[in-house]
Amino acid sequence: MTQTWKKIAAVSVSAVMLAGVLAGCGPATSSIDHENPVLSVQTKAFNADSAQNDSPVVQALNDYLGATLQFTWVPNTSYDEKVTTAMAAGEYPHIMLVGARSSSVIQASRDDTFWDLTDILTDSSKYPNLAQTNPVVNHNISIDGHVYGLYRTRELGRAGVTIRKDWLDKLGLSIPTTIDEFSNVLKQFTEGDPDGNGVKDTYGMIVTDYLDGPLNNLAIWMGAPNGWGLDENEELKPAFMFPEFKETLKLMKEWYDAGYINADMATYSSDKWNEQFLTGQAGVIIDVADRARRVASNIADLNPNAVVDVFGYVKKDASAEPKTLPTTGYDGYFVFPKASVATEEDLDLVLRVMDKANDAEAENLMNYGIEGTHYTVEDGFAVKNTDEALVKEYNDLNQFATNIVNNGLTTKYTVDVAEKIDQVYEENREYVVPNPVEPYISDTYSTKGPQLDAIMAEANTKFIVGQMSEAEWDAQVERWLSQGGQNVIDEYNESYKNDDSVK
């Protein structure tokens, strides 16, 4: 998806500093000492014992980056609250992770609190690593067409189908490439005795109370938009208002009625998603591709003859173009407040540090620690020392990594299917269907989103399991519209029409 980003207006350094004062984020601090830069960083912690600033790994990272990083670790569970509090107080570190694009974060961005990086990130002569940011992901974090942060990379093409390859082989089937072939696999896994025990005790696909995973992937394959799409009048509407989405619901209902899907899907917990795959009751899971690695690792002890395979998508029919459901491609993004990064020269220094943090040596330090102490390299892979005291010396440093250029070491694959997962990711990226409203904020959805989502989630499940007719499902769409959904549509369309980046 090609984006034409808005150009940043040229301003003098003094004007930039004045903007920082007027942005409601406290007085501009003195310029960073460029001879001996000390940069404060606020990011998430997932461990009780995060790396301390005097850790030898932090010191080694500082030496490599040419700056002293002072980390403030905030527990993941309270992180967004901490960001809101910091913004309200106007107290900012030089580098701050934004976990959620809340209305307050968006308003602060619009108020010029954070540096606009839209065009800066394209400068490959200054920032060769940062210039490789993905335009789709930049669009996803953008606000009014502007990019105000540096995202932490997450795999964009992560969706995938985990499948029992040995069952396919026994039944004379191959990896499906179309919806019809996929449907036939589910049928044969249910009726064709894939485990060869002479008993009808298997079924096709496991679906849980987390219906969005399989439903949204299937809907994309069937040609529905991702979350939201443009109708024939160039108006944004939610995906469930497109005919392809309803076709997908009807297809899943057919599979459910035929027994190809577990009868208890409405109440079957996603925490148990793997169980019936591992015990040989079902042979397909639509979720994320890396689930195949996890189940392949666990199934070996239960059934050493089982073979797990993975693929990314099927097409609606043989003539259709491939389509895949992407993630947003990021998990939060780092902003650079003008209150603490006061000048263009300061911003350049900070971005050069962030750029260098994408070098292989820096990534290895953040992910594994110091070679020879915290890990060794065997056959090109990192092998971690599991000593708890050593692990603490780099705990959570990976939460500072953006992985824009993921060129560091990896750990060795323990199952064959893991290598194919990387191939799935790579191919999926070519066919992702972006969500056009990802950058926008709806005030109505901010307050009523959970209730609105619950209306359609319940309606979708009830329709598939036969507890709701098509007419009743249509009535739930009208209910969604009347309880705030129409306002959400109007607000997203207003944002879309005012977004020069999509013109």
Range of the domain at 488: 443-502
Residue 435 resides in a domain: no
Write out the DSSP string of 293-332. HHHHHHHHHH-TT--EEEE---BSSTTSPP-B----SEEE
Q: Are residues 49 and 171 in the same domain?
A: no
**C-alpha to C-alpha distance for 336 and 92, rounded to whole angstroms:** 9
Tokens 């003008």, residue located: 338
Residue 381 resides in a domain: yes
Name 301's bridge partners.
none
Instruction: Indicate the average pLDDT of the chain.
Output: 92
Q: Are residues 457 and 498 in the same domain?
A: yes
Packing angle between helix 443-464 and helix 486-497, nearest 10 degrees?
A: 120
Rounded to an integer, the average pLDDT of 450-470 is 97
Q: Each residue of 406-454: pLDDT tens digit?
A: 889 998 888 889 989 999 999 999 999 999 999 888 989 988 999 999 9
Give the pLDDT score at 21: 32
Rounded to an integer, the average pLDDT of 313-321 is 98
**C-alpha to C-alpha distance for 298 and 484, rounded to whole angstroms:** 45
Share of the chain above pLDDT 90, in %: 86
Tokens 């491939």, residue located: 322
Residue 348 resides in a domain: yes
Residue 7 resides in a domain: no
Residue 437 resides in a domain: no
Residue 344 resides in a domain: yes
Residue 502: pLDDT band by 50, 70, 90 thresholds?
confident
Q: Are residues 172 and 100 in the same domain?
A: no
Q: Are residues 33 and 125 in the same domain?
A: yes
Give the pLDDT score at 346: 97
320: left (phi over 0), alpha (psi -120 to 50) or beta: beta
Residue 485, H or E segment: none
Q: Is the pLDDT of residue 104 over 90?
A: no
Domain count, the chain: 3
Rounded to an integer, the average pLDDT of 212-239 is 97
More confident residue, 185 or 411: 185
Q: Are residues 395 and 375 in the same domain?
A: yes
Give the pLDDT score at 413: 80
The pair of structure tokens assigned to 195 is 């485990």
Q: Each residue of 12-62: pLDDT tens digit?
A: 223 333 333 333 334 444 579 999 999 999 999 999 999 999 999 999 999
Rounded to an integer, the average pLDDT of 341-369 is 97
Give the pLDDT score at 30: 53
Give the pLDDT score at 476: 98
Residue 474 resides in a domain: yes
**C-alpha to C-alpha distance for 52 and 70, rounded to whole angstroms:** 9
Q: Are residues 173 and 314 in the same domain?
A: yes
Residue 353 resides in a domain: yes
Q: Are residues 94 and 127 in the same domain?
A: yes
Residue 102: pLDDT band by 50, 70, 90 thresholds?
confident
Q: Is the pLDDT of residue 206 over 50?
A: yes
Q: Each residue of 262-304: pLDDT tens digit?
A: 999 999 999 999 999 999 999 999 999 999 999 999 999 999 9
Question: How many of the other CB atoms lie within 10 Å of CB of 294?
Answer: 16
Q: Is the pLDDT of residue 500 over 50?
A: yes
CATH number for the domain harbouring residue 55: 3.40.190.10
Report the relative pairing of strands 159-164 and 308-311 from DSSP bridges: antiparallel
Q: Is the pLDDT of residue 391 over 80?
A: yes
Q: Are residues 260 and 164 in the same domain?
A: yes
Give the pLDDT score at 503: 64
Q: Are residues 373 and 467 in the same domain?
A: no
The pair of structure tokens assigned to 188 is 């044969």
**C-alpha to C-alpha distance for 187 and 251, rounded to whole angstroms:** 13
Q: Are residues 374 and 476 in the same domain?
A: no
Give the pLDDT score at 29: 47
Q: Are residues 108 and 37 in the same domain?
A: yes
Rounded to an integer, the average pLDDT of 162-186 is 98
Residue 101: pLDDT band by 50, 70, 90 thresholds?
confident
Q: Are residues 264 and 391 in the same domain?
A: no
Backbone phi, psi, residue 308, to 5°: -100, 135
Say if CB 240 and CB 456 are below 8 A apart: yes
